[in-house]
């Protein structure tokens, strides 16, 4: 039997920890799916934070999950910070119990509150460990774990300033297979039919993350009449937190050119019909837009941890691969910038060509390669 096949018979018992946002959860699920495809006998246990969206999304993807009582430290003075030492102690103890019971032969951290305690305990207990840093600026949890883990998979260049260089592997970010396999031309007709939009109209896709983006939503609400008057149409994901908040002062939310929804599950179809994209700049969104190769206007959320979304955009802006609009400028500039880009096909082609070059279609496979090296 070839050596590679012999290695593939080693049972894989993997703990994957992290979450808090779709930007952490969906890459984690992509890694889990790739592991299962490679090894039918793989057993996977997720560990997340109690009350966070991974506790709902992961079981829907078919994987078991345990929850830790953990949250982040607030930047401002907060009563919640007083409970942090108790939460951390509780999470460390539960993480130890989970590891002793599950007996993983590898631990994977994808960022988020739960990954800190879990990966810390795993490394202390001798479990080979890997973390995946999705952003261009390393988060506090991953910087804290860097000296303890065996491998650090990164999506951007230049992270040697945060992590030991000998542990770094430049893989890119994992994305869902339906995005990887997306053929825009083949799916475009079906996409317009699915969302009930007109294929003859220029289309703006507006997404602000799974929870929504207040500044983007308020900007679109304020100037929606400009988009409609220009004869363009929008597919607009408001996010769960903002769907009911948008005022319909101009009576345009039910206009045929406006398709507004709380959440888009069929993102492959959404990307297929978009002439341009308006989005936040989370790691997952940026990675998907790179692979799709779409002209994009990015409005980073300035209060994300370490302001990492702004740093994600700056990394693209340096390569003329996206348009950057500050959160504070969105209300005055966003819709006008979107309409200007919608009319400028040369600029669209330039942005699309540049951002497509930054895509990493083999990211999930390469990360799993590194996982299996540890096993």
Binding annotation for UDP-N-acetyl-alpha-D-glucosamine: 21-23, 135, 176, 210, 264, 309
Q: Report the DSSP beta bridge partners of residue 67.
A: 48
Left, alpha or beta for 50 (phi > 0: left; psi -120 to 50: alpha)?
A: beta
Contacts of 273 (CB under 8 A, 6+ apart): 188, 191, 192, 195, 197, 199, 203, 205, 235
Cite the annotated binding site by residue number: 21-23, 135, 176, 210, 264, 309
Radius of gyration of the chain (CA): 21
Region class of 186: left (phi > 0), else alpha (psi between -120 and 50), else beta:
alpha
CA distance 126 to 290: 37
* Residue 331 and residue 215 in contact, taking contact as beta carbons nearer than 8 Å: yes
Q: Would you call 47 helix, strand, or coil by DSSP?
A: strand
| Sheet order of strands, 233-237 included | 258-261, 233-237, 203-207, 276-279, 296-298, 323-324
Instruction: Tell me how far apart the alpha carbons of residues 62 and 56 are, in angstroms, rounded to a whole number.
Output: 11
Q: Which two structure tokens, joined as six digits, stand for 284?
A: 């997952």
State the DSSP code for 197.
Answer: -
The DSSP call for residue 65 is E
- Straight-line distance from the first to the last Cα atom of the chain, in angstroms, rounded to the nearest whole number: 19
Three-state DSSP state, 146: coil
- Residue partners of 92: CB distance under 8 A and separation at least 6: 117, 120, 121
């Amino acid at each position: 039997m070839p050596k590679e096949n012999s290695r593939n018979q080693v049972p894989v018992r993997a703990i994957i920890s992290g979450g808090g946002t779709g930007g952490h959860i969906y890459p984690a699920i992509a890694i889990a799916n790739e592991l299962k495809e490679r090894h039918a006998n793989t057993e996977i246990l997720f560990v997340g934070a109690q009350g966070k969206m991974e506790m709902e999304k992961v079981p829907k993807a078919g994987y078991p999950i345990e929850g830790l009582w953990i949250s982040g430290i607030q930047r401002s003075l907060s009563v919640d910070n007083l409970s942090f030492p108790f939460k951390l102690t509780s999470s460390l103890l539960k993480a130890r119990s989970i590891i002793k019971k599950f007996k993983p032969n590898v631990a994977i951290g994808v960022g988020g509150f739960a990954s800190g305690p879990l990966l810390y305990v795993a490394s202390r207990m001798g479990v080979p460990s890997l973390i995946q840093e999705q952003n261009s600026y390393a988060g506090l949890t991953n910087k804290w774990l860097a000296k303890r883990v065996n491998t650090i998979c990164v999506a951007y260049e230049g992270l040697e300033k945060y992590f030991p260089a000998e542990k770094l592997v430049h893989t890119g970010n994992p994305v869902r297979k339906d995005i990887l396999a997306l053929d825009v031309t083949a799916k475009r007709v079906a996409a317009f039919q699915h969302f009930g939009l007109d294929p003859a109209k220029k289309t703006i896709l507006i997404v602000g993350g799974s929870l929504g983006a207040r500044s983007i939503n308020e900007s679109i609400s304020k100037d929606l009449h400009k988009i409609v008057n220009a004869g363009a149409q929008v597919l607009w994901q408001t996010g769960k937190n903002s769907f009911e908040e948008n005022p319909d002062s101009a009576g345009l939310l039910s206009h045929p050119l406006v398709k507004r929804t709380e959440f888009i599950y069929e993102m492959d179809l959404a990307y297929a019909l978009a002439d341009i994209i308006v989005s936040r700049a989370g790691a997952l969104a940026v990675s998907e837009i790179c692979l799709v190769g779409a002209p994009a206007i990015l409005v980073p959320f300035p209060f994300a941890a370490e302001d990492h979304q702004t740093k994600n955009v700056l990394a693209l802006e340096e390569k003329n691969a996206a348009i950057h609009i500050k959160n504070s400028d969105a209300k005055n500039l966003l819709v006008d910038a979107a309409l200007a880009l919608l009319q400028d096909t040369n600029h669209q082609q330039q942005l699309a060509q540049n951002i497509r070059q930054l895509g990493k279609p083999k990211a999930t496979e390469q990360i799993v390669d590194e996982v299996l090296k540890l096993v």
